[in-house]
């Protein structure tokens, strides 16, 4: 339990910092879900989104990982539930997007996975903050 508490707890000090982390988490989670998660359901130009598979995983596993990263993880980020662990699959997906899928593209194209990766690494480093289910569950139950 102590190891779990160390992984999921973050002490950012001033309440302003906790509010800033909350706002950052919520806005990032909403953006990730709205822009990338919902693409998994809608058709564009009559075609379903093609999910890149640069690692050569079985197609169903690749689709499952990408869908989990863009559909489930954003809600865990918003709620602040298992946050540091939850961001790991999405960091993997966005980093692979940056370093593998878009490695030969222009900086303008590579910017999106780069910024998501940086943002998720910040959440990984800081944790969910005081206004999260992680904090509540570990300190009030």
Q: What is the pLDDT of residue 11?
A: 63
Domain count, the chain: 1
Q: Quick one: which of 31, 8, 6 has its CA closest to 128?
A: 8
In angstroms, rounded to a whole number, what is the distance separating the alpha carbons of residues 26 and 66? 20
Cβ partners under 8 Å of residue 9, min gap 6: 127, 134, 135, 138, 139
- For the stretch 89-122, pLDDT in tens is 999 999 999 999 999 999 888 999 999 999 999 9
2 pLDDT band, cuts 50/70/90, is confident
Q: How far apart are the first and last CA of the chain?
A: 12
- Phi, psi angles (nearest 5°) of residue 131: -95, 70
Q: What is the pLDDT of residue 119?
A: 97
- For the stretch 11-67, pLDDT in tens is 666 677 888 899 999 999 999 999 888 887 776 666 777 788 888 899 899 989 999
Strands (E), the chain: 43-44, 47-48
Q: Quick one: which of 24, 22, 42 has its CA closest to 34?
A: 42
Look at residue 47 and give its three-state secondary structure.
strand
Residue ranges making up the domain that contains 44: 1-138
Other C-beta atoms lying within 10 Å of the C-beta of residue 29: 22
């Amino acid at each position: 339990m102590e190891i779990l508490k160390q992984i999921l707890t973050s002490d950012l000090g001033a309440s302003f910092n906790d509010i800033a982390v909350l706002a950052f988490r919520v806005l990032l989670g909403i953006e990730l879900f709205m822009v990338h998660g919902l693409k998994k359901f809608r058709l564009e130009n009559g075609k379903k989104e093609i999910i890149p598979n640069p690692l050569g995983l079985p197609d169903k596993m690749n689709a499952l990982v990408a869908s989990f990263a863009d559909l489930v993880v954003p809600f865990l980020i918003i709620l602040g539930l298992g946050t540091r662990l939850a961001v790991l699959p999405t960091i993997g997906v966005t980093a692979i997007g940056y370093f593998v899928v878009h490695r030969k593209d222009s900086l303008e194209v590579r910017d999106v996975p780069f910024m998501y990766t940086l943002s998720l690494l910040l959440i990984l480093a800081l944790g969910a903050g005081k206004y999260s289910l992680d904090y509540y569950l570990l300190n009030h139950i």
